[in-house]
Amino acid sequence: MGKKGGCGFVGWLMVLVILALLGVGIFLVVRHKMNKSDDDGDSIPGPPGAIQKKYSDALNVAVQFFDVQKAGKLNEDKITWRGDSALEDGSTVKLDLSKGMYDAGDHMKFGFPMAFTATVLSWSILEYGDQMEAVNQLGTAQDSLKWITDFLIHAHPSDNVLYVQVGDPVSDHKCWDRPEDMTEKRPVFQVNASSPGSDVAAEAAAALASASLVFKKKDSDYSSTLLKHAKQLFSFADKYRGSYCDSIPGSATYYNSTGYGDELLWAASWLYHATGDRSYLQYVTGSNGNDFADFGNPSWFSWDNKLPGIQVLMVAIEKDTSNSGLQQYRETAEAVMCGLIPDSPTATSSRTDGKLVFLSFFFFCGIIWHLYEWEV
């Protein structure tokens, strides 16, 4: 069978691109007025004004990406060429881990980037849910989010245990086949008190806490369940500190975590947003912030680096200007924004001719990986 090219890093970079397109699509849906021409078609009503159909169509395609990636028992045939798959995932440990989403073009379920996807999707819904609803995409986005959070709940059978990977990437990447037809063994991997994974457990906590806000009005019981698991996972991540890459051999090859401090702050930020409990605010702005926030050094938001997200989120949800720790987040968030705004004196020079920001590090890693694949 043919070899699967690319790595998880590149695959989930594609997911980040989809999420970025999702945000851009929503923005354009809201901002662009309908041009009265035969080419543009009919306008779609919705706040704050008429919506340009071609952008709502683009948003539909972007959201549809998540339906393509779903594992488990598919309730509706939204994607006609997809069917049920991975129905026995987790059966070896008497758990139902059939849901969740596949990573990139393979059949792996990597909990670390999957949970991050849920967190960012939750944030998108919280920020732009009204606009999504105006073009009939809110329900689809919520369904995709729940597909991941259901998996995370099932993957957390007790306070200090979280299953974070389903499948063997070595055997999986040796074969091209449809997920509906796969026959390879599907081992599961966990982090626990003796083999900790603060990064992945805290990211799962962030995902569930943010999702609890999404479902708070829609399904209060489910929202409460999400929040309960989020609190437990954060406590687990904070009490038993360590990287999941040290606990699960080989995981660093695919999604190497460069540290867990940002995930702890990220989870606490979302828990503060979801609960209003100021102990989480103190966690983020106190000594842990000093240890992990890297104040004054703006960086780029990604599945491995949550610091820019924390900076923007904390400034958005907490207005206490007397908090010195919060002020440091604000200043760093402003530096991040100034790096993105083209006319800023500190704007990044890593831009295309069309003024789009690019990260040469990602490009370099992609080249190195494909050269490696070619040689092997």
Q: Which residue ranges form the domains of the chain, and what is each CATH number? A: 8-375 (1.50.10.10)
Q: Are 298 and 337 in contact (CB under 8 A)?
A: no
Look up tokens 């594609």; give the residue. 14
Residue 173 corresponds to which tokens in the numbers above? 């990447």
Cα 326 from Cα 201, distance rounded (Å) = 24
pLDDT (tens digit, 9 = 90+) per residue, 283-328?
999 999 999 999 888 888 899 999 999 999 998 887 777 888 888 8
Under-50 pLDDT residues of the chain:
1-7, 9-10, 13, 17, 24, 27-48, 361-376
pTM: 0.83
Q: What pLDDT does 71 receive?
A: 97
The predicted structure's pLDDT at residue 342: 84
pLDDT in tens, 140-153: 999 999 999 999 99
Q: What is the rounded CA–CA span in Å between residue 133 and residue 218?
A: 13
Question: What sections of the chain are H helices per DSSP?
Answer: 8-31, 53-69, 111-134, 138-154, 169-172, 198-214, 220-239, 244-247, 252-255, 261-275, 278-285, 287-292, 307-317, 324-340, 360-375
Q: Return phi, psi of residue 44, to 5°.
A: -110, 120
| Torsion over CA: 326, 330, 333, 339 (sign) | negative
User: What is the per-residue pLDDT for 75?
Assistant: 84
How far apart are the C-alpha atoms of 144 and 197, rounded to whole Å?
A: 25
Angle at 230 between CA 9 and CA 105, to 5 degrees: 25
Q: How confident is the model at residue 364, as a pLDDT? A: 41
